[in-house]
Amino acid sequence: MYRLCFVCLGNICRSPTAEGIMVTLVEEAGLASKIRVDSAGTSAWHVGEPADQRSRDCAERRGVRLPSISRQFVVEDFERFHYVLAMDRDNRVDLRALASDPVAEDRIHLLRSFDTASKHEPDVPDPYYAGDAGFDRVFDICAAACRGLLDHVVERHGLGA
Ligand code: 4NP
């Protein structure tokens, strides 16, 4: 069983979007028994809240549900999750500050590093104060990166056959 945790600032926009997309991709690939997906925030600002309505509306239009409830990332998550996917470089700074050993630090990746078409665009932009178009863009970016991430996990851990 491989566990993935997507992490952004509030855990109400970007990381729930990536989580919902990844759950859908994993189910479509028939890998739900081998890959588990979760998300969390580096802040506690929105703990207990559902995903932002704008993220949920945007995802729903693409056939993806976002059922996650915001929680804060905790240091123990580095033991539970094999991949900790930061949405942007600020999130990665915050995660690295929490990581207490090299094993934990090795588990932190920028989500977009798995999208081979976006090598020079490291961040999933924060849509919170942006208009609706920002949410569509976040969805597209997360969808492309999650496909790349799934391919990577399948290949790296021999889940293909
Ligand atoms: P997220 O977006 O990190 O993608 O969930 C944000 C949500 C809330 C805030 C900022 C970003 N905020 O400032 O409350």
Confidence (pLDDT) at 26 = 98
Task: Tell if the pTM clears 0.85, that is, is over it.
Answer: yes
Q: How confident is the model at residue 117 (pLDDT cuts 50, 70, 90)?
A: confident
CATH code: domain of residue 45:
3.40.50.2300
For residue 43, the CA-to-ligand 1 centroid distance in Å is 9
In this structure, the residues whose C-beta lies within 6 A of any atom of ligand 1 are 8-14, 45, 126, 128
Q: Would you say residue 23 lies in a domain?
A: yes
Tell me how crowded residue 141 is: count the other CB atoms within 10 A of its CB: 22
| Percent of the chain scoring above 90 in pLDDT | 93
Reported as a single tens digit per residue, the pLDDT across 121-138 is 999 999 999 888 999 999
Reference 3, options 55, 40, 56; nearest CA is 40
Residues 6 or more apart whose CB falls under 8 angstroms from that of 75 comprise 98, 99, 100, 104
- The number of domains in the chain is 1
Annotated active-site positions, please? 8, 14, 126
Give me the domain span that covers residue 129.
Answer: 2-156
Q: Would you say residue 128 lies in a domain?
A: yes
Whether 161 has a pLDDT exceeding 70, the answer reads no
Q: Would you say residue 161 lies in a domain?
A: no
